[in-house]
Chains A and B, each alone.
Chain A
Amino acid sequence: MNTLIAIIGLGILCLILEIFDARKAIIPIVVIGLLAVLGLDITEFNSPNAYYNNMIIVGKFSSAFSALFIILTIFLVSLGHKFYENHQTKISDFVAIKIFLLAGAVAMVSFGNLAMFFLGIEVLSIALYVLASSNRLSIKSNEAGLKYFLMGSFASGIILFGICLIYGAMGSFDVTEISELSRSAELPIWFPIGIVLVFIGMLFKIAAVPFHFWAPDVYEGSPALTTALMSTLAKVVAIATLYKLVKTMNADISPSFQLIIVIISIASMTVGNIMALRQVNVKRMLAFSGISHAGFMLMTLLSTVKSSGTLLYYTSAYALAGIAAFSVILYVCKTKENEDITNFQGLGKNNPLMAAILTASLLSMAGIPIFSGFFAKLFLFNQTIQAGFIALVIVAVINSIISVGYYFKLILAMYTKEPNEAKIPTPAVIYAVAVISIVLNIALGLFPSFVLDLLG
């Protein structure tokens, strides 16, 4: 709770700093402020508590995920220093929107009431609509913004209808009360319909097949930093919220619901990977890779009782690799018109460190050992086999092998082709973010138990 208040305070401070004409100081102050908020969040880890009639429930799950979101936001805000170089007058808006987005994200994982859940989703989504279309002179960015807006508000409408039907069946918005009531007596038919509608809406938000069609267009059209935000922070938030929702609302999942999750998970992995093979735009390729990762993350829903640690580990590994990859993409494509793979040719000769970081992050996403992506997949598969879904794990392993194909397409372009142009100097901030995130990723791979055992 204090974390949420502090984040909103920081966002307002950011807007006030602009009034006092301290634009240059905004990013350093916000980064320091977010580090302080991170400390505050960690102190809340061991003191579970409920606030405002169970509106917000702070526990281990919510504070661990909030810590991950705050770390990702620190990276994304620091990358903004270079990205918004030519928009100095609007810098406070961009940073403030990101902080309010973080507030929505924290509200989403610590909800105890469906009203808070809905408000969190909306705060996050509305901030993302603005960021997606923030490059207002580019028609691509406008198109991405409109598509994201239409799909997002459509999904919000479906979620809202689902919440309404659940309320109609239960007469309450409180999730613990709903889950207690749902175990007793017979329920009106609209309760399961409501659950299904909320589930569909959340699948829209995490871009799982068959609700994924907006993702590639939106990821390609948005400014690169927003794409980084969507594919790391927004995806992780949505999947964590869906996990918490499934876990608290129906603790014992029925077999038919499990079958649906298995089918969606297999479809997401396969469609995402196969479509990614034929992409030439890196942002679009990472969008499809994100769809397939959403399929992997959905596997945690099959054993909700003990898989929260695995989910935290998988999402951290994926998001840190994503941040490292996107910081290299930001550097390479800063002066380019698009993000085609040809722009990456010869990066291995021009800038070996950046090429190595991009290689490492792609290998982590593909699941090659020493990087945490491998251990994340290992623990996830192990848990899924224990839950008794061997066929799903076999499909997932085949998909991991397919995914190596398109990640290596980019790696080969970097190392085997000749560079098109002379070396561009790298800004120190991008170096720092890329190095720190990939080091964190490898550290997670070396000491997996630190994160895995956090949630017990």
Chain B
Amino acid sequence: MTNILNEIGIENYIFLSVILFCIGVFGVLYRRNAIIVFMSIEIMLNAVNLLFVAFSTYHQDAQGQVFVFFSMAVAAAEVAVGLAILVSIYRNLGSIDINNLKNLKG
């Protein structure tokens, strides 16, 4: 395990995670379909999980891997709530386009 990490270098793992995280951020900012926005949030969280595992191996320390389980559970709970909100929006509006949600302004 450590050999591979040494060969690739921890920096490359960080770059990969940052790129994935930024893809997620731009997805949240630019996509208008609520499902795709949820997927972008998942990409953000999973980019972090990847980096956690990489750091965990880098430090030879299991805490980071345990944290990944926590964050996976939290992400699942979050998406469950988010999808429930989406279902009730779809029932009221008949669409899940974020641009249709413009009732609150001022």
CB within 8 Å of B: which of A103-150? 115, 118-119, 122, 125-126, 129-130, 133, 136-137, 139-140, 142-147, 149-150
Residues A115 and B82 in contact, CB atoms below 8 Å apart: no
Give A202-230 as 1s and 0s: 1 = Cβ < 8 Å from B's Cβ atoms. 00000000000000110011000000000
CB within 8 Å of B: which of A366-383? none
Whether, in the assembled complex, A284 has its beta carbon less than 8 Å from a beta carbon of chain B, the answer is: yes
Given A118, A140, A153, which contacts B82 in the complex, CB threshold below 8 Å? A153
Give A156-173 as 1s and 0s: 1 = Cβ < 8 Å from B's Cβ atoms. 110011011101100111
With most chain B CB atoms within 10 A of its CB, the pick from A126, A163, A168 is A168
Residues A216 and B106 in contact, CB atoms below 8 Å apart: yes
Instruction: Give the complex CA separation of A389 and B74 in angstroms.
Output: 40
With most chain B CB atoms within 10 A of its CB, the pick from A140, A157, A160, A216 is A157
| Complex: chain B residue closest to A140, CB-CB | B103
Residues A168 and B89 in contact, CB atoms below 8 Å apart: no
Instruction: Give the complex CA separation of A139 and B102 in angstroms.
Output: 10
Whether, in the assembled complex, A279 has its beta carbon less than 8 Å from a beta carbon of chain B, the answer is: yes
Instruction: Give the complex CA separation of A125 and B82 in angstroms.
Output: 12
A-B contact count (CB 8 A): 123
Decide: A130 near B81, CB < 8 A? Known: A140-B103, A279-B106. Answer: yes
Contacts of B89 in A (CB 8 A): 139, 142-143, 146
Whether, in the assembled complex, A408 has its beta carbon less than 8 Å from a beta carbon of chain B, the answer is: no
Contacts of A118 in B (CB 8 A): 67, 70-71, 74
Given B24, B61, B105, which contacts A171 in the complex, CB threshold below 8 Å? B61
Q: Count residues of A near B (Cβ-Cβ below 8 Å).
A: 44
Give B36-66 as 1s and 0s: 1 = Cβ < 8 Å from A's Cβ atoms. 0100010011011001100100110101101
Instruction: Give the complex CA separation of A133 and B105 in angstroms.
Output: 17
Residues A133 and B63 in contact, CB atoms below 8 Å apart: no
Residues A122 and B48 in contact, CB atoms below 8 Å apart: no
Residues A160 and B77 in contact, CB atoms below 8 Å apart: no
Whether, in the assembled complex, A179 has its beta carbon less than 8 Å from a beta carbon of chain B, the answer is: no
Instruction: Give the complex CA separation of A147 and B66 in angstroms.
Output: 30
Residues B67 and A167 in contact, CB atoms below 8 Å apart: yes
Whether, in the assembled complex, B1 has its beta carbon less than 8 Å from a beta carbon of chain A, the answer is: no
Given A146, A153, A216, which contacts B78 in the complex, CB threshold below 8 Å? A153
Whether, in the assembled complex, B28 has its beta carbon less than 8 Å from a beta carbon of chain A, the answer is: yes
Given A129, A139, A164, which contacts B103 in the complex, CB threshold below 8 Å? A139
Contacts of B23 in A (CB 8 A): none
Residues A146 and B86 in contact, CB atoms below 8 Å apart: yes
Residues B58 and A168 in contact, CB atoms below 8 Å apart: yes
Contacts of B88 in A (CB 8 A): 133, 136, 142
Whether, in the assembled complex, B4 has its beta carbon less than 8 Å from a beta carbon of chain A, the answer is: no
Give A168-192 as 1s and 0s: 1 = Cβ < 8 Å from B's Cβ atoms. 1001110000000000000000100
Instruction: With both chains docked as a complex, state the minimum distance between the C-beta of A419 and any C-beta of chain B, in angstroms.
Output: 26
Smallest CB-CB A-B distances: 9 pairs: A157-B44, A171-B59, A217-B104, A168-B55, A136-B88, A143-B101, A122-B74, A142-B89, A145-B85
A-B contact pairs, 7 of them (CB 8 A): A115-B70, A149-B78, A154-B44, A156-B74, A160-B71, A167-B55, A168-B58
Please list the residues of chain A having a beta carbon within 8 angstroms of any beta carbon in chain B.
115, 118-119, 122, 125-126, 129-130, 133, 136-137, 139-140, 142-147, 149-150, 153-154, 156-157, 160-161, 163-165, 167-168, 171-173, 190, 216-217, 220-221, 279-281, 284
Please list the residues of chain B having a beta carbon within 8 angstroms of any beta carbon in chain A.
10, 14, 17, 21, 24-25, 28, 34, 37, 41, 44-45, 47-48, 51-52, 55, 58-59, 61, 63-64, 66-67, 70-71, 74, 77-78, 81-82, 84-86, 88-89, 92-93, 98, 101, 103-106
